[in-house]
Amino acid sequence: MSVINQPIRLGMVGGGQGAFIGAVHRIASRMDGQYQLVAGALSSNPDRARASGEELGFEPDRIYTDFNEMAEQEANRPDGIEVVAIVTPNHMHFAPVKAFLEAGIHVICDKPLTATLEEAQALAQIKPVNNARFLLTHNYTGYPMIRLAREMVAAGKIGKIRLVQVEYLQDWLAEDVSNKQADWRTDPARSGAGGAIGDIGTHAYNLLRFVTDLIPAQISAELDNFVPGRKLDDNAQMMLRFEGGAKGMLWASQVATGCENDLSIRIYGDKGGLEWSQKDCNSLWFTELDQPRQQLRRGGPAPIDFEWPIRVPPGHPEGYLEAFANLYQDFARILYGEQGYTVVPGMSDGLEGLIFIQAAIRSSQNNGIWQDLNILEEPFTSF
Amino acid sequence: MSVINQPIRLGMVGGGQGAFIGAVHRIASRMDGQYQLVAGALSSNPDRARASGEELGFEPDRIYTDFNEMAEQEANRPDGIEVVAIVTPNHMHFAPVKAFLEAGIHVICDKPLTATLEEAQALAQIKPVNNARFLLTHNYTGYPMIRLAREMVAAGKIGKIRLVQVEYLQDWLAEDVSNKQADWRTDPARSGAGGAIGDIGTHAYNLLRFVTDLIPAQISAELDNFVPGRKLDDNAQMMLRFEGGAKGMLWASQVATGCENDLSIRIYGDKGGLEWSQKDCNSLWFTELDQPRQQLRRGGPAPIDFEWPIRVPPGHPEGYLEAFANLYQDFARILYGEQGYTVVPGMSDGLEGLIFIQAAIRSSQNNGIWQDLNILEEPFTSF
Amino acid sequence: MSVINQPIRLGMVGGGQGAFIGAVHRIASRMDGQYQLVAGALSSNPDRARASGEELGFEPDRIYTDFNEMAEQEANRPDGIEVVAIVTPNHMHFAPVKAFLEAGIHVICDKPLTATLEEAQALAQIKPVNNARFLLTHNYTGYPMIRLAREMVAAGKIGKIRLVQVEYLQDWLAEDVSNKQADWRTDPARSGAGGAIGDIGTHAYNLLRFVTDLIPAQISAELDNFVPGRKLDDNAQMMLRFEGGAKGMLWASQVATGCENDLSIRIYGDKGGLEWSQKDCNSLWFTELDQPRQQLRRGGPAPIDFEWPIRVPPGHPEGYLEAFANLYQDFARILYGEQGYTVVPGMSDGLEGLIFIQAAIRSSQNNGIWQDLNILEEPFTSF
Amino acid sequence: MSVINQPIRLGMVGGGQGAFIGAVHRIASRMDGQYQLVAGALSSNPDRARASGEELGFEPDRIYTDFNEMAEQEANRPDGIEVVAIVTPNHMHFAPVKAFLEAGIHVICDKPLTATLEEAQALAQIKPVNNARFLLTHNYTGYPMIRLAREMVAAGKIGKIRLVQVEYLQDWLAEDVSNKQADWRTDPARSGAGGAIGDIGTHAYNLLRFVTDLIPAQISAELDNFVPGRKLDDNAQMMLRFEGGAKGMLWASQVATGCENDLSIRIYGDKGGLEWSQKDCNSLWFTELDQPRQQLRRGGPAPIDFEWPIRVPPGHPEGYLEAFANLYQDFARILYGEQGYTVVPGMSDGLEGLIFIQAAIRSSQNNGIWQDLNILEEPFTSF
């Protein structure tokens, strides 16, 4: 808690009135008192930028409509922002990320990293000024039970992994809807070449990678757009082959009626199994061979030493916002050079996400042919 | 209930002491008092056949060691069996099924129909004497909630189907075990070319077919044997393409540690979704677009007219044995020419199961190439 | 299984066409092939008795309309029934139980034992001829997980019990319904002085007694009839004090809308806790102090040596009928003098049930005053 | 959201380093950016007060060790706090609440209101200066599904209520533990005369009151302390009689091994039923007579018009902290005179809680005699 007395000065690009993920980032930044949001280019529309900035209490001269100007001016202010959160639609990630890293300002960016693989590759080549750091908010890695799962896998509690199944099912695009959220996410110009595969498939893929540390070698994918007139996939299913022989399946859908944000992962090794679902995010099921199923609970007894990243004791549910805030908290620790959980998603994870999207699209376009992923980077180490 | 006063005379091939599925068939046959087990070739070992037969109270001259002899003699007795249950290992299905059908005795056969596609094709050509009927015990079709699901799909309650996911996960072969059950199921000579794909994958496939009535056009499959030294697959995963554009995934595993017989199915259409799991076999989840999730319960209020195939009221759980017994009950009705639920698995479903196994193996052996299924027969009508 | 070759000859009193519990007893008697139903006084209405008996295949001279005549004649036949099942409404238990026990015929009787405490006391004084045995079908004691729970408690796995909560919630009488089942159960003349307290409260009480072996010392009860015009209680709630200091609560309701037959029990001791619900009857939750929650599963790994009373392996759900059949199976073993589970509900449990009903009614009529139970008999040993 | 640009200046009494509920209040106050914590008497120990205050970034002259001094000085500063949060142990509520209300500063106070009924009655007589308002953080009333339940009951969706069952089960005091939290909660001098009944029983009672609006007329209670040497009750069970004829049960336990903070409520009326559990706090089960069970979900379709008090869409779980923050948000709205949900717990609810505690203790001390509650005040309207 020693970081609160001097909150980190935070800026934001995107996230004006009516935005979803911008509001989430703001709550996450506030929860532990470690950040203070003081500046923003919340919209490219001047009126909306001003109204949004005033609502958040920014000084007038720190309400921007141009992120380049913001990066330049904030970098030169003695009280300038130390970190910026980029919460624009996917196609508007590349330019501001580049601008702020090159201005020596740390960046927190929503996923996916960019709209295209080429942009991601370009970003990965950037040399940040002043050792600016980068966090990609693959927020599901912030769930305490997911982190416990990762540590248990690493500690060998389920042995050598044989099988992984991960899925992320929604139903909000089961019909031809039109609203602020749906519009950009179903528009290739703003979302990139992937629909469900980019919006939620990358989350599922990242979760799988985070928990298992398996290296995906190849995927065979089917992408569909079931709603007439839709330009991007609203359902993605695939099989995966991992280095070392493990196999897997991944399913991302926006048309699974009755599902909300049903993200789940199941992992089976030669000594045990682990199962987690966001529906009951405070539990992790663990079964060792020939032993009863155990329902591990957030903050409760665990089969390994584990420092719980939690705020309230067992039985008082924590959820999505707390998990999201854990990434903000970790990033603050990294910036302060403090001890803490530093295995957070970074630039290489973002690049890998785009590789994944492209491979899935290519496989689907080629009748499901197995597509190499060629993952080279070291993931989960902040840039 | 009008059938009890003259129970159907039943015989059995296989199912001697220590057998699993033979005992299940006996319980299913007894539950509603419609069958009386009076004869059997319970084992090819004479001592075991005798001991098993005596335990079941057979007359000495109705304890056989040779099913051909049994078929011949029982067909000629005035009090001979009317129906025979074939509960031998897979490679021992073909010959007795043929013998009894050609002796004019109705046959109830455990799945899969045969060990090879060739045998299945040959059986499908048989002309049964005396219009003998045939039931294949794909028993999960006997669950009341599964039958309700089928009727709801047929009634258009979830609209046009887009997605189906079905899985059957076990863990009993996660290690290299040896026992009566494991030995024949992991032996290609007795089980056929499929391991998990034949033993439980066919159940998953059959369930999918029963509930949706979708026609699978192609599959792309991966079969693995994770336990060293095992000759047959212990894990099968695949993607499916259906006629009309629906897509699906199927997963059958015997190495998913923590899973018992976790069979489940999820179906999403353009108007709603249905979800069922054997873990909670008395519930069926139903969601219509923009409506709350409903937990339909066995015997409770349903969204369509439905004659519940149940024995006890809601809240008193029925399970696997009752579902199994429903098939025996249906078959009794068919034999008596009575009204009732007659959409039961038959010869064509058995043949289709072997087509499915062969296509999965071929796809897996050819790097997951999409394999046509060429399903031609009309399923779910007793032979 | 050695008992099947000579099935026990079974008769039935009550349970004619349209009856619920009679049909359940018949299924339970058939399941393991140990009984053969050959005679019955299924109804006092001659036409209905005949039609029901013919449907079940009885010989004409074994279709009775008078249970006294049945007891006398069957006792004198060389092939007479060995056991009779009494499945009449509560007020019709006393006379036939007495008649058959005094005719030297074993009795299986549905609960509650009688309609009044006086009748129960009178029955408990009977000296059965030929050492005839008596089974009361408090069927929930037949659930495998419930038996495991009892054995675990006895083995000290949860330490000294502090708290017990048991409830049995239904909603089928939430409105003023009229049908065969509802009519006699809400009629004091046929059901006795207790409504919900007798019909399901006794089940809850018996379950509590079976699992914990605690001796209830006093109860303080509130009985209500919420539906206008109803003569018997449709809701009963109470607090319990046990010898040794444990405390408890019991709730039985027929007006809890949304509940089917939601029987559950929770027990907390100074070393651990146990939780079971009929909704998920194949699981038993077990938590030791400072350890993760364990979901014990029917047939799976258990924390004590335990011989599972099951028919199919884990993951293939068993339910109400299998639990009921376990009592029939146990009784067969007792009659055969075989080894097996013989801790089944008997005469003293029936008497105790009536003591419980009377105490609850008296407490409720006296503003909830704590009422002594004075349980003296040794329970759970067949008469 | 228009309140963020001028955050409300907040102070805190209690909640220094190591405190649990103080940290929760701080997170709740930060979540929506509506409060800024600027002053505090975080501890009566000067060193601890200073260290805690510095950690939170307070100006040196706003770090107090005496709440009276704090009230006086802050009331006189132009930039003084507008609201204070009282998060001390129970016996330290009365004096600071009084001091701040009389200094014209709004008060947010943790529950229970005071340690004794006399203190509560005295507080209820206070005339706050400057119309200072009062919020009691019975935080479970902040759960969206609980608020929906209240609105549904009020709209008649379950008809006239017959039955209510509420329970709050923990296990953290199942053994004789000693730590900062346990010590004061099991000490009559700091906690008041109630143990479990005061700490969590009042939450259960308040939840019941909030959702049903039923007026409890009488209670019959049993309080126990199961752990040897413990001075306060660690288990409380009781029956309730409501005006109008409804009945209920309440159970609060700190020794229910395997339970974390298992708060749940079930309500059955003559038209339907509602069930909620904190374990699955994003769901509310609703059943209408003769209709399927519905799982209503936070943010999803609801049977009444309802303005969801939520931050993220369905399927992204919200939990305890979000519910707590809802009370802070509501209080901000009240202070700003804005529209919004203003049915929050206030002074009369606090007084009623103490009446409840005293009645429970008296009933328990008098062999469970029915004790009148004499609830007179109008609840759930902020002071």
Compute the distance between CA of residue B338 and CA of residue B330 in angstroms, rounded to an integer: 9
Query: Phi/psi class of residue A244: alpha, beta or left (left: φ > 0; alpha: ψ in -120 to 50)?
Result: left
Chain B residue closest in CA terms to A258: B287
Residue length of chain B = 383
For B79, other C-beta atoms within 10 Å of its C-beta total 11
CATH of D8-132, picked from 3.40.50.720, 1.20.1110.10, 1.10.3660.10, 3.20.20.70, is 3.40.50.720
Q: How far is CA D217 from the centre of its chain?
A: 22
Mean pLDDT of A337-347: 78
Domain A144-312+347-372 has CATH 3.30.360.10: yes
What is the 3-state composition of chain C as percent helix, strand, coil, each rounded to the nearest 5? 35, 20, 40
Mean pLDDT is lowest, of A71-75, A138-142, A221-225, D19-23, for: D19-23
Name every chain D residue with its beta carbon within 8 A of the beta carbon of C271: 257
DSSP string, D354-365: HHHHHHHHHHHH
Contact between A301 and C291 using a beta-carbon 8 Å cutoff: yes
Angle, CA of B278, B281 and B282, to the nearest 5°: 175
Which residues touch D325 (CB under 8 Å, ≥6 apart)?
Answer: D27, D28, D29, D31, D32, D142
The mean pLDDT of A238-262, rounded to a whole number, is 98
**Any idea which architecture B144-316+346-372 has in CATH?**
2-Layer Sandwich (3.30)
Lowest mean pLDDT among B35-39, B80-84, B287-291, D372-376: D372-376
Which residue of chain C is at minimal alpha-carbon distance from A295?
C293
**CA separation for the pair B283, B317 (Å, rounded):** 10
C1 — pLDDT class (breaks 50, 70, 90): very low
Looking at residue A238, its pLDDT comes to 98
How much is the pLDDT for C209?
A: 97
pLDDT at D377: 57
Mutation test of the interface with chain A: which of C157, C293, C306, choosing the one with the most A Cβ atoms within 10 A? Answer: C293
Place of tokens 């015989």: B11
Which of C50, C257, C321 should we substitute to test contact with B (largest number of B Cβ atoms within 10 Å)?
C321
The domain limits of chain C are 8-132, 142-317+347-372
Q: Are A128 and A99 in contact (CB under 8 A)?
A: no
What fold does the segment set C142-317+347-372 form as a domain?
Dihydrodipicolinate Reductase; domain 2 (3.30.360)
* Stretch C151-171: mean pLDDT: 98
C-alpha distance across the termini of chain B, in Å: 24
Question: Is residue B359 less than 8 Å (CB to CB) from chain A?
Answer: no
Task: Please name every residue paired with A370 in a beta bridge, in sequence order, or none if there are none.
Answer: none
Q: Between A and C, how many residue pairs show a Cβ–Cβ distance under 8 A?
A: 32
Percentages helix, strand, coil for chain A (3-state, rounded to 5) are: 35, 20, 40
Residue B22 confidence (pLDDT) above 50: yes
Q: How far apart are CA B203 and CA B111, in angstroms?
A: 8
Q: Which residues of chain D neighbour A23 with C-beta distances below 8 Å?
A: 311
Of C10-14, C371-375, D373-377, the poorest mean pLDDT is in: D373-377
| Three-class DSSP category at B372 | strand
Q: What is the pLDDT of residue C113?
A: 95
Q: How far is B174 from chain A (nearest CA, A)?
A: 7
Hey, which chains touch D, using 3+ CB pairs under 8 Å?
Answer: A, B, C
Cβ partners under 8 Å of residue A55, min gap 6: A17, D1, D2, D4, D5
The predicted structure's pLDDT at residue B186: 83
Residue B1: pLDDT above 60?
no
Positive or negative, the CA dihedral B316, B320, B325, B326 is: positive
Ramachandran category for residue B209: left, alpha or beta (phi over 0 → left; psi -120 to 50 → alpha): alpha
Mean pLDDT confidence for A306-325: 96
DSSP D104: T
Mutate to test the interface with C, among B48, B311, B320, B324 (most CBs of C within 10 A): B320
- Residue window 268-287, chain A: list those with CB within 8 Å of chain C: 286
The share of chain B scoring above pLDDT 70, in percent, equals 96
Q: What's the mean pLDDT in B98-105?
A: 97
**Shortest distance, CA B289 to any CA of chain D (angstroms):** 10
Asked if the Cβ–Cβ distance from C33 to B24 is below 8 Å, we say no
User: For residues C3 and C77, is the Cβ–Cβ distance under 8 A?
Assistant: no
- Pick the residue with more confidence: D188 or D28? D28
Instruction: Give strand pairing partners of D161.
Output: D269
pLDDT at C379: 67
Using pLDDT thresholds of 50, 70 and 90, give the confidence band for residue C329. Answer: very high
pLDDT at res. A1? 38
Considering CB atoms only, which of B23, B259, B314 is closest to C260?
Answer: B314
* Chain-chain contact of A288 with B256 (C-beta, under 8 angstroms): no
**Measured distance CA(D351)–CA(D120) in Å, rounded:** 5
Digit-coded pLDDT (tens) for A256-311: 999 999 999 999 999 999 999 999 999 999 999 999 999 999 999 999 999 999 99
Reference A106, options A74, A65, A78; nearest CA is A74
Q: Does the pLDDT of residue A237 top 60, yes or no?
A: yes
Rounded mean pLDDT, D216-224? 97
Restricting to C residues 141-200, those with a Cβ less than 8 Å away from any Cβ of B are: 170, 172
**Residue B378 predicted with pLDDT over 80:** no
Mean pLDDT of A63-87: 97
B293-307 pLDDT tens trace: 999 999 999 999 999
Nearest to D226 among C162, C238, C275 (CB): C162
Facing residue for C275 by CB, picked from D158, D226, D258: D258
Contact between chains at B255 and A288 (C-beta distance less than 8 A): no
Residue B97 has pLDDT above 80, yes or no: yes
Mark which residues 27-86 of C lie under 8 Å from D by CB. none
User: What is the full DSSP assignment across D222-237?
Assistant: EEE--STT--S-SEEE
| Chain D residue nearest residue A59, CA to CA | D5
Please report the pLDDT score of residue D375 as a whole number. 84
Give the per-residue pLDDT at A374.
Answer: 86
Tell me what the mean pLDDT of segment A152-157 comes to.
Answer: 98
Please write the tens of the pLDDT for every residue from D43-63: 989 999 999 999 999 999 999
C232: nearest Cα among C176, C193, C261? C193
Q: How far is CA C141 from each of CA B101, B246, C339, C344, D149, rounded to the nearest angstrom?
A: 44, 47, 18, 8, 36
Touching B: which chains, 3+ CB pairs < 8 A?
A, C, D
How many cross-chain Cβ pairs, C to D, lie less than 8 Å apart?
126
The pLDDT value given to residue B2 = 39
Among candidate residues B82, B127, B141, B129, the one with its CA nearest the CA of residue B103: B129
Taking Cα atoms as reference points, which of C277, C22, C319 lies closest to residue C168?
C277
Chain D 308-337, residues with CB within 8 Å of chain A CB atoms: 311-322
Angle at C13 between CA C12 and CA C15, to 5 degrees: 85
Mean pLDDT for chain A overall: 93
Percent of chain D with pLDDT over 70: 96
Best mutation target, C257, C259, C268, C367, to test chain D (most D CBs within 10 A): C257
Measured between beta carbons, the chain C residues lying within 8 angstroms of A286 are: 292
Q: Tens of pLDDT along D271-328?
A: 999 999 999 999 999 999 999 999 999 999 999 999 999 999 999 999 999 999 999 9
**A291 CA to chain B: closest CA distance, Å?**
8
The pLDDT tens digits for B48-71 are 999 999 999 999 999 999 999 999
pLDDT band at D232 (very low <50, low <70, confident <90, very high): very high
Pick the residue from chain C with its C-alpha nearest to B16. C1
How far does A39 lie from chain D, in Å, by closest CA? 12
Express each pLDDT in A21-39 by its tens digit: 999 999 999 999 999 999 9
DSSP annotation string for C337-371: T-SS------HHHHHHHHHHHHHHHHHHHTTT--E
For residues D124-147, give the mean pLDDT: 95
What are the tens digits of pLDDT across the range B299-352? 999 999 999 999 999 999 999 999 999 999 999 999 988 766 668 899 999 999
> Above 80 in pLDDT, residue C153?
yes
**Residue C175, class by beta-carbon neighbours within 10 Å (0-12 exposed, 13-18 middle, 19+ buried)?**
middle
Assigned token pair, D372 = 């009148």
CA distance C222 to C362: 10
The pLDDT assigned to B19 comes to 84
- Cα–Cα dist B380/B350, whole Å: 10
Pick among D145, D148, D286, D295 to test the B interface (most B CBs inside 10 A): D295
